Structure 1
Amino acid sequence: MSYPEQFQGFAINNPKDWATPKLTSYQPKNFGAHDVDIEVECCGICASELFALQNGWSHGEMACLSSKYGPKTQVVGHEVVGKVVAVGPEVKLCKVGDRVGLGAQASACMNCTRCNSNNEQYCAQAVSTYCDFYPDGYVSQGGYASHVRAHEHLCFPIPPELPSELVAPLQCGGLTVYSPIKRNIAGKKDPKVAVIGIGGLGHMAIMISKALGAEVYAFSRGYSKKDDAIKMGADHFVATGEKNWSENLGDTFDLILNCASSTTSLDLNALLPCLKVNCNFVSVGLPHIDEDLKVKPFSFFANGCNMGSSKLGSREEAIELMNLAVKHNFRPWVETIQVSEAGVSDGLTRLNDGDVKYRFTLTGFHQFFGTGK
């Protein structure tokens, strides 16, 4: 490998190989005026990687096979922490040597009304950190790699108080739940938040909701995660597998946040009446492309509630989130795995099997790739 001409990372080009990415060298995207190269120190493992590698969000072929230049293989990973080692001539937001984080978005136009209103995650020209097309036809490559290249605006400064392996999951998972929680309860007196699904996203949603002043209800099908949810800060626990679980929860919540990555077990007709008037059910867990949400229109009628989704978060919100973690001293629950072909495979396989409490972070990148010097 000769940086910056080549990066190294763990990649596949066929969904059947999702659990066994192989080390490969590849050409990065052409270096832009606002681009930043990050020498990766560690990278979280997110459930999105499973869907991307298994091609569960598409009925077509993997995007990398249609890349106009660069690799025809796919490196994933979008909870990156590392050091800035190169900047484009117009970069102003960071400098060589800075420790930064990169989440699930690598680029945006920075000129549209959404970008100019701290909603760049909704930019029509947004490029995801992996599996997405840049305007020049290159398919983005992620952070299970020696380096990653992204627009400066999406490279976030990290407070020194936050250890790299613990702050990595905040770059995507944490930000994904922080944005809708903040936007739905800001300015409300004594808000109540229900968090559905106590997994990678949900466990951070509990901590963040609590830090933002909410009374938090953790929802899970059974009781196996009750003790953990209480330790994370939940004030109440609701087992939706119990009969009549919603009986005393009508008109309770300012926000119901669905963090589950599958919708098949959601009883929306029981959940929606638990919202206060004109409040929101927001789903941030994206299921397989063939899954649907099922709900009766009358479930909306009595309280005028709304259903929607939320995509990632803005740079401003990412910085707010990390400062909140410092102020309130919360950290994701993380198990570290040494990066290697075997380590990546182990992390992906265990995540697919649900064998994680509650996030993985791949570490040891400098040792493996011979970087960090």
Structure 2
Amino acid sequence: MPKPQDSPNMVAPESQDYKFEGWMGTNPDSAKGQMVWQEFPDVKKFEETDVDIQITHCGICGSDMHTLRSGWGPTPYPCCVGHEIVGKAVRVGSKAEKGIKVGDRVGVGAQNASCLKPDCYECAAGLEQHCQHMVGTYAAKYPQGGTSYGGYANYHRCHSHFVMKIPDQLASEDAAPMLCGGITVYSPLKNNGCGPGMKVGIVGVGGLGHFGVLFAKALGADKVVGISRKNNKRDDVLKLGADEYIATDDDEDWANKHARSLDLIVCTVSSPKMPLGDYLTLLKVKGTFIQVGAPEDKLPDMYAFAFVLKGIKMGGSLIGPPWQIEEMLKLAAEKKVKPWINTYPMDKANQAIQDFEAGKPRYRITLVNERNLQ
């Protein structure tokens, strides 16, 4: 039996001939297309539970923009964002999980590490994303030292527990945005019973919301309703598979016309001006409203009667644990879930984030690292 240091999966440290480099945000103006390509200054030391990934694809997520401009609080610059990563495993530790091998096509979502201790309730329960010691895939510090850097880059280092193999049936540019955008809506749909017999509404049909429609249909919901402000997305949403569409700015008396028609609403947007009370009107008695959108604004003020009178359950959801991401990818492969993706070369990342902010993509952007495809 080979010694751990002789494992065929592991690239010996002295043979590592690659540098961790990527598009770095150095101040809030980076969100305006002013990222700079730099070597990462503080990469975590490789451990035998880790995997190094040569990045071929990385999705652009709204979280990237909030972080680049310090919208959720001060960002620890310099920072490389991107937490929808797909690529090739090029170095695999001798204690890596899941049978990952050098050469496997793998992915990483928005979580890079947690404590994984057996006495941690969250980790032991398969709720690693809620661990008090959760480490995000970028702009976070590891307890043992080092900084996490994201996927607008050439390489990424991650604990193998949070690395998953990508099913052969999924194209890399499609799989990448599922690793955050997809799981962010898949998890609350699955956890709240989406399936046959359910009528589901998706509020906000953008990058997240379009995944919400796709996965609600893939899970077998009887009825899926896309809900957005304007009529200009109606045709797109119906093509994605929705059964109905509500334009809250354009459809007259929409809340009363569709009152008590939905079992579950997943809301991907957040604004002090959004008609939250009217959204709750759409729910049946004992219906459920789950908030996943977390922009920089607060939610509207609301009277308790809006949810008390019908016994509505209100909650939130944060990405999903590794096992559920793998479950989602398997379903996407089986049901041939096909997101609407715009691709940009990694070299054009600054242009891509500006187009993302301008709302140009229909409905997600994936950066393609063409140098690593060769």
Does structure 1 conserve the Cα–Cα contact (< 8 Å) formed by 2:40 and 2:149?
A: no
Partner of 1:165: 173
Counterparts of 1:141 and 1:259 in 2: how far apart (Å)?
Answer: 26
**Relative to structure 2, which stretch is displaced further, 43-52 or 250-259?**
250-259
Which one-letter code corresponds to 1:124 in the other structure? Q
Partner of 2:303: 296
Which of 18, 22, 29 is residue 9 of structure 1 equivalent to?
Answer: 22
The C-alpha deviation readout for 1:29-56, integer Å capped at 9, x for no partner, is: 1112311111101111111111110111
Does structure 2 conserve the Cα–Cα contact (< 8 Å) formed by 1:39 and 1:372?
A: no
Which runs of 5 or more structure 2 residues have no equivalent in the other structure? 1-14
Q: How many aligned residue pairs are there?
A: 353
Which one-letter code corresponds to 1:252 in the other structure? S
Partner of 1:90: 95
Counterparts of 1:239 and 1:267 in 2: how far apart (Å)?
Answer: 12
Counterparts of 1:153 and 1:220 in 2: how far apart (Å)?
Answer: 37
Does structure 2 conserve the Cα–Cα contact (< 8 Å) formed by 1:277 and 1:304?
A: yes
Which of 82, 86, 91 is residue 81 of structure 1 equivalent to?
Answer: 86
Q: In the alignment, does 2:51 pair up with 1:36?
A: yes
Which of 192, 197, 201 is residue 199 of structure 2 equivalent to?
Answer: 192
Does structure 2 conserve the Cα–Cα contact (< 8 Å) formed by 1:273 and 1:303?
A: no
Counterparts of 1:353 and 1:366 in 2: how far apart (Å)?
Answer: 25
Matches within 5 A, 1:97-246: 97-111=103-117, 112-186=120-194, 189-214=196-221, 215-241=223-249, 242-246=251-255
Counterparts of 2:18 and 2:54 in 1: how far apart (Å)?
Answer: 14
Which one-letter code corresponds to 1:171 in the other structure? L
Partner of 1:67: none
The TM-score with structure 2 as length reference comes to: 0.90
The C-alpha deviation readout for 1:207-239, integer Å capped at 9, x for no partner, is: 100111111000011110000000001000111
Which of 38, 49, 61 is residue 46 of structure 1 equivalent to?
Answer: 61
CA RMSD across the alignment: 1.7
CA distance 1:109–1:293, shift in 2 (3 Å): farther
Q: In the alignment, does 2:318 pair up with 1:311?
A: yes
SS at match of 1:149: strand
Partner of 2:334: 327
Does structure 1 conserve the Cα–Cα contact (< 8 Å) formed by 2:264 and 2:288?
A: yes
- Compute the displacement of 1:250 (Å): 2.5
Q: In the alignment, does 2:289 pair up with 1:275?
A: no
- Compute the displacement of 1:4 (Å): 5.9
Of all paired residues, the percent bearing the same amino acid is 38
Q: In the alignment, does 2:355 pair up with 1:350?
A: yes
The C-alpha deviation readout for 1:231-278, integer Å capped at 9, x for no partner, is: 001000111113311113222222111112x32332111111322233
The C-alpha deviation readout for 1:291-350, integer Å capped at 9, x for no partner, is: 33421111011111122210001112111111111221121100110111xx11111001
SS at match of 2:280: helix
- Compute the displacement of 1:372 (Å): 5.6
Does structure 1 conserve the Cα–Cα contact (< 8 Å) formed by 2:83 and 2:108?
A: yes
- Compute the displacement of 1:3 (Å): 4.6
The C-alpha deviation readout for 1:35-84, integer Å capped at 9, x for no partner, is: 111110111111111111011111xx3224xxxxxxxx110101100011
Which one-letter code corresponds to 2:215 in the other structure? I
Which of 26, 38, 59 is residue 24 of structure 1 equivalent to?
Answer: 38
SS at match of 2:192: helix
Partner of 1:69: none
Does structure 2 conserve the Cα–Cα contact (< 8 Å) formed by 1:13 and 1:62?
A: no
The TM-score with structure 1 as length reference comes to: 0.91
